[in-house]
Amino acid sequence: MTAAPPMVLAEGVHKRFGRLEVLKGIDLSVDPGEVMCIVGPSGSGKSTFLRCINHLEKIEAGRLSVDGELVGYRQQGDKLYELRESEVARRRAEIGMVFQHFNLFGHMTALGNICEAPVQVRRIGRKQAAVRARELLERVGLAEKCDAFPAQLSGGQQQRVAIARALAMDPKLMLFDEPTSALDPELVGEVLAVIRGLADDGMTMVVVTHEMGFAREVADSIVFMDGGVIVESGTPAELLSNPREARTRDFLAKVL
């Protein structure tokens, strides 16, 4: 019996914006069911790497695959060819992404926001999509808010709707880009509780976060990035309690 491929596999991933090299050869793998938290100072490349995983950003060099399939490319012989946008969109639909700013459609209710992608992308009937959307709203603790518009919701509630919207596509992988950094401190806990529940359910997740207590509690592995490279990685106990690298120790001294 062959082992399942890593859910995410990055091999020598490079990304630049003009002259600025943002990712300088990222190597990592995330196993199915694993929760990986990526931490580090602002500008270290964390969010850019997350956006490369679902091809919102194209990589310049290296290879990146999700569940054994290259992201954004197909291989023929030893050459890589970029996929058509329709093919990229099909694969991207299998990856849920939750952004720092909630990106909800302001003119749609919470229910409408969650139904939209399954109806438009997966061609699911609107009635069936609405049943699933109500289940997901209940799961994120917002069953009573299905008819509320984003402007009527707190930031924490909007972010929980955004998580439900991502889950509506039944993704095999969830990416979270600083999901609590735009929230007032008292609203952070309700969003982290939802993510913690997903972890308990075995969802594979990569979470860029500055919430160290959450990373310690939920992550299977933590990666510390700085200057476009992975400085070190390990279990929460290893990395947060006994870091090997001086740069990691210096960063943790400021945030713990």
pTM metric for this prediction: 0.93
| Whether the Cβ atoms of residue 183 and residue 99 lie closer than 8 Å to each other | no
For 25, other C-beta atoms within 10 Å of its C-beta total 15
Q: Among 15-19, 36-40, 54-58, 110-114, name the one with the lowest average pLDDT.
A: 54-58
- State the pLDDT at residue 255: 87
pLDDT tens, residue by residue, 100-131: 888 899 999 999 999 999 998 889 999 999 99
Q: Quick one: average pLDDT of 169-190?
A: 91
Q: How far apart are CA 113 and CA 150, in angstroms?
A: 9
Q: What is the pLDDT of residues 214-233, one digit of tens each?
A: 999 999 999 999 999 999 99
Question: What is the reported pLDDT for 1?
Answer: 56
Across 146-159, average pLDDT: 95
Q: For the residues 55-78, what does the mean pLDDT come to?
A: 87
Contacts of residue 210, defined as CB under 8 A and 6 or more positions apart, other chains included, come to 39, 178, 181, 255
